[in-house]
Amino acid sequence: MAGTCEDALGALSARLGIPLEFRDGTCEVAIGGQPFSIVRDDALDRLVVSALVADDLPDAPSRQLTADLLNLGFGMMHEGLPAVGRDPETGFLAAFAVYPCSRLVAAEFPGSFEKFVSFAMRLADRLEAERAAGPASPAAAPEPPPPPPHGSHGFIPV
């Protein structure tokens, strides 16, 4: 693993005020009761940050939620931007971001991690709210237009 990733993990550990303990290349960190994973992928010289955001999709997701989740798939085309995926076996939805060590700036990684945490928590809250609201009625007001790609902070707003 490149020194840049080790430096970035050191900076994150200092920001969080806890040691990051890796087992088999993975570190689990709980923030606000939500678990986050940091994977050191030595073979591809990168860090992958992920979080479970829902056990499955709401039974009848709104068109806007569906469009926003599909838009998030493009996050992988931009380093450090989050994407969302669904495990076909379990149904779990996870947010994740990939950070190549060769392009990582150690001093900026804690801020990027904090943005990812905020993003994942907002997405989890949004998915839970939509699940709690249940299916939209056909007479419901039209959905608002989608947000601009990548938002003002580099993320597609959720």
Q: What is the DSSP string of the chain?
A: --HHHHHHHHHHHHHHTS----BTTEEEEEETTEEEEEEEETTTTEEEEEEEEESS--SS--HHHHHHHHHHGGGGGSTT--EEEE-TTT--EEEEEEEEGGG--GGGHHHHHHHHHHHHHHHHHHHHHHHHH-SPPTTSPPPPPPPPTTTTTSS---
pLDDT tens digit at each of 158 positions of the chain? 556 899 999 999 999 999 999 999 999 999 988 999 999 999 999 999 999 999 998 888 888 888 888 888 777 777 667 999 999 899 899 999 999 999 899 999 999 999 999 999 999 999 999 888 876 555 455 555 454 445 544 554 55
Give pLDDT, residue 2: 56
Compute the distance between CA of residue 65 and CA of residue 3 in angstroms, rounded to an integer: 39
Give all domains of the chain, ordered by start, each with its CATH number. 3-133 (3.30.1460.10)
Give pLDDT, residue 79: 64
Give pLDDT, residue 153: 47
User: For residue 39, what are the β-bridge partners?
Assistant: 26, 48
Q: Would you say the pTM of this structure is higher than 0.85? A: no
Give pLDDT, residue 61: 87
| Strand pairing class (93-100; 83-86) | antiparallel
